[in-house]
């Protein structure tokens, strides 16, 4: 516990996934698994494909740049200060649309957060760039299956 500065990770082990660096601000171990919080800095446009968390809610707060989100049937363009909730069981995706962007991501409960020492090998693979690239208007492969485009630049609020 304590102060975690901008661009620092509470666990000392930031990880890179897709087009972003994730700095742990509150680790699952600090909350007994109740929640975890990441500061996610996006260094190029893009994001994950449409996906579902069966056992976690996700909350997003944009702090810099701009993102396009889809949560269920809702599509929205978010800028600094805007937030959106992705309830468990509801398909969602997002893509940063500016050259760089940043958002705070809260997972409730913390299960699946990649912050424990057991995930060190996964973080190392991500740092080496093994994760597939994803841009807002391109499809890519994940675990051997083709994923649909995340969002396109024509998505409107």
pLDDT > 60? residue 38: yes
The pair of three-digit structure tokens given for residue 123, joined into one six-digit string: 């973080």
**3-class DSSP assignment, residue 118:** helix
10 Å Cβ neighbour count for 7?
10
Task: Check if the beta carbon of residue 140 is closer than 8 Å to that of residue 126.
Answer: no
**Can you give the CATH number for the domain in which 27 is found?**
2.60.120.10
- Is 8 inside a domain boundary? no
Give the HSE-up count for residue 53: Cα atoms under 13 Å, Cβ half-sphere. Answer: 21
pTM higher than 0.75: no
pLDDT of residue 113: 58
pLDDT of residue 112: 58
Domain hosting residue 142, numbered range? 15-147
Average pLDDT over residues 97-116: 83
- Is 9 inside a domain boundary? no
- Is 142 inside a domain boundary? yes
Query: 122 falls in which pLDDT band (50, 70, 90)?
Result: very low
Count: domains in the chain = 1
Query: 17 falls in which pLDDT band (50, 70, 90)?
Result: confident
| Distances, alpha carbon 130 to alpha carbons 15, 17, 119, 140, 151, in Å | 12, 9, 15, 13, 22
Percent of the chain with pLDDT over 70: 70
pLDDT of residue 18: 85
**First-to-last C-alpha distance (Å) of the chain:** 38
- Is 5 inside a domain boundary? no
């Amino acid at each position: 516990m304590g102060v975690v500065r901008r661009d620092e990770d509470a666990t000392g082990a930031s990880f890179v996934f897709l087009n972003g660096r994730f700095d742990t601000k509150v680790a699952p171990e600090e909350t007994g698994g109740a929640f975890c919080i990441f500061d996610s800095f996006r260094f190029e446009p893009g994001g994950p494909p449409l996906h579902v968390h069966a056992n976690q809610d996700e909350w997003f707060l944009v702090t810099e740049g701009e993102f396009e989100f889809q949560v269920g049937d809702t599509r929205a363009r978010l800028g600094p200060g805007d937030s959106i909730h992705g309830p468990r069981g509801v398909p969602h995706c997002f893509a940063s649309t500016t050259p760089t962007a940043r958002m705070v991501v809260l997972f409730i409960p913390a299960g699946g957060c990649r912050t424990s020492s057991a995930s060190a090998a996964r973080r190392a693979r991500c740092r080496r760039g093994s994760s597939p690239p994803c841009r807002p208007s391109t499809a890519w492969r994940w675990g051997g299956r083709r994923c649909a485009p995340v969002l396109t630049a024509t998505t409107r609020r």
